[in-house]
Copies of this chain bind each other. A is one copy, B any other.
Amino acid sequence: MSEPLRPAPLRLGIAGLGTVGTGVLKILRKEAAMLSARTGREITVSAVSARNRGKDRGISLDSYAWEDDPVALATRDDVDVFVELMGGSDGPAKAATEAALKAGKDVVTANKAMLAIHGQALAELAEDAGRVIRFEAAVAGGIPVVKSLTEGLAGNRIQRVIGVMNGTCNYILTRMQSAGLPYDIVFQEAADLGYLEADPQLDVGGIDAGHKLALLASVAFGTRVSFDAMELEGIGRITIDDIRAAEDMGYRIKLLGVSQMTGRGLEQRMAPCLVPATSPLGQLEGGTNMVVLEGDAVGQIVLRGAGAGEGPTASAVLGDLCDIARGFRLPVFGQPAASLEDAVPATSTTPAPYYVRLTLQDKPGALAKIATVLGEAGVSIHRMRQYDHTGGRAPVLIVTHKTQRKLLDEALVAMTGTGVVEGDPVALRIETV
């Protein structure tokens, strides 16, 4: 019997040699034999591209061809898979991805912004060309959550996806809580540690995490990515008072993404929420990510791991590359782009309990006025705490029973009209997982 023909190597072109790109190169070099044993095929690198050719990355690039232009890299004859690790929703990343697909290359990317905004168009382009785009590294770092949704749980109707998916925000919130420091100080610490994106709003504004959630919603619900329809609120308005008050009531504040298919349409929100302090989400510290998947057959699956960094993100890129080397091919968002439905944004939000913090003036009957206003709006109070007056002002915490956000918003407007409330009340959703 003759030996079976060994398939030709899978040849990569890698654009972007920052932390992740360098990490991918290191694994490809160190573990070539292991990867080949696992996939039945060699994975080689033909060419690379980056902004700065001369930068010391701790590894030699001598054995790879160099391209200054990522589009030229993406379309080289000796490249089978274009590995896009440059980032940015448009510009060179998008141009090179499109060029790669048109030239018949598969694409592996860590670029959540590009896919959250142009995902549908790119998926259609890929499928027209008979190519795949894989993006495990774009969501929750090393956690195989895209794979779990599109493959492992393919027999389920997914009901809800919940996640803490921005390590920087989680670092800031847990550090505020553990060190008792105000937001501005911890924000500056995070900046000094290099944890923040060049545009910090991508992190603290919830945009980066929102991009990730938009991608998960698409694969979970079979809908076109619709980042524009997401309710988005950052952590910039969270004060140390809120952190302490939440702790006092048995909660932690997390930048939480929730996407849920309801009879009223698709809910997608990325916003600070309270979760029980003792719950797995409440216990999540620092840069770790957690994603909770709920399916009709499987029930609740919880996945936890590092959400960023060289190793975890490179691990996700390698997972996608191994799948391609093995010949696994599936549509970009798990089912053909043409069959993805338009996501109708939910007309209202699923009712939930809310946390409300306000400052009351020291006037007789002030608390009664607040309680009355809530009652009249149809919002019932589960727990209420009034603290000592300091300088004629008393902090008040309220946890409501489940209510419509709309009713609560009406109550908040009415509250400020009572003349007994200082400034604007803060209201945060309490998510029970």
Q: B residues within 8 A CB of A147?
A: 144, 147-148, 151-152
In the complex, the answer to whether B297 meets A156 with C-beta atoms within 8 Å is no
Number of interface residues of A (CB under 8 A): 59
Interface stretch (choices A6-14, A27-35, A76-84, A371-379)? A27-35
In the complex, the answer to whether A151 meets B23 with C-beta atoms within 8 Å is no
1/0 per residue A126-170: CB within 8 Å of B? 000000000010000011100110111111110000000000000
- B35, B301, B336: which contacts A154 (Cβ < 8 A)? B35
A304 CB-CB contact with B under 8 Å? yes
Residue among A136, A148, A154 with most chain B CB within 10 A: A154
In the bound complex, CA of A144 to CA of B319 (Å):
15
In the complex, the answer to whether B305 meets A300 with C-beta atoms within 8 Å is yes
Whether A323 contacts B151 in the complex (CB less than 8 A), given A297-B27, A336-B40, comes out as yes
In the complex, the answer to whether B335 meets A155 with C-beta atoms within 8 Å is no
Q: B residues within 8 A CB of A316?
A: 152, 298
In the bound complex, CA of A343 to CA of B312 (Å):
28
Q: B residues within 8 A CB of A315?
A: 153, 155-156, 295, 297-298
1/0 per residue A298-338: CB within 8 Å of B? 11111111100101101111110111001111100011100
- B38, B155, B283, B326: which contacts A319 (Cβ < 8 A)? B155
Whether A306 contacts B298 in the complex (CB less than 8 A), given A148-B148, A155-B318, A328-B326, comes out as yes
In the complex, the answer to whether B319 meets A152 with C-beta atoms within 8 Å is yes
In the bound complex, CA of A156 to CA of B34 (Å):
9
Q: B residues within 8 A CB of A299?
A: 142, 305-306, 309, 311-312
Q: B residues within 8 A CB of A334?
A: 38
In the bound complex, CA of A311 to CA of B329 (Å):
27
- B34, B142, B283: which contacts A298 (Cβ < 8 A)? B142
A424 CB-CB contact with B under 8 Å? no
In the bound complex, CA of A31 to CA of B335 (Å):
15
A364: shortest Cβ distance to chain B, in Å?
Answer: 45
- B40, B309, B322, B326: which contacts A155 (Cβ < 8 A)? B322
In the bound complex, CA of A152 to CA of B320 (Å):
7
In the bound complex, CA of A296 to CA of B326 (Å):
22
Q: B residues within 8 A CB of A153?
A: 142, 144, 315, 319
Whether A38 contacts B335 in the complex (CB less than 8 A), given A153-B319, A305-B300, comes out as yes
Residue among A143, A298, A309 with most chain B CB within 10 A: A298
Please provide the chain A residues from 229 to 255 with a CB less than 8 Å away from any CB of chain B in the complex. Answer: none
A2 CB-CB contact with B under 8 Å? no
A39 CB-CB contact with B under 8 Å? yes
In the bound complex, CA of A335 to CA of B34 (Å):
10
Shortest Cβ distance from A309 into B: residue = B299
A181: shortest Cβ distance to chain B, in Å?
Answer: 24
In the complex, the answer to whether B326 meets A297 with C-beta atoms within 8 Å is no
A37 CB-CB contact with B under 8 Å? yes
In the complex, the answer to whether A297 meets B318 with C-beta atoms within 8 Å is yes
Q: B residues within 8 A CB of A296?
A: 311
A174: shortest Cβ distance to chain B, in Å?
Answer: 16
In the bound complex, CA of A305 to CA of B302 (Å):
6
Q: B residues within 8 A CB of A37?
A: 222, 335-336, 339
A280 CB-CB contact with B under 8 Å? yes
Known: A144-B144, A298-B312. 16 other contacts (CB 8 A): A34-B157, A35-B155, A38-B154, A144-B152, A147-B152, A148-B148, A151-B322, A154-B319, A155-B314, A155-B322, A295-B315, A297-B314, A298-B306, A300-B306, A301-B304, A327-B329
A interface list, Cβ under 8 A from B: 23, 27, 31, 34-35, 37-40, 136, 142-144, 147-148, 150-157, 222, 280, 283, 295-306, 309, 311-312, 314-319, 321-323, 326-330, 334-336, 339
Closest 8 CB pairs of A and B: A155-B318, A144-B152, A142-B298, A154-B322, A298-B315, A297-B315, A297-B311, A302-B304
Question: What are 7 A-B pairs at a CB distance below 8 A?
Answer: A148-B148, A154-B323, A155-B321, A156-B315, A296-B311, A297-B312, A299-B309
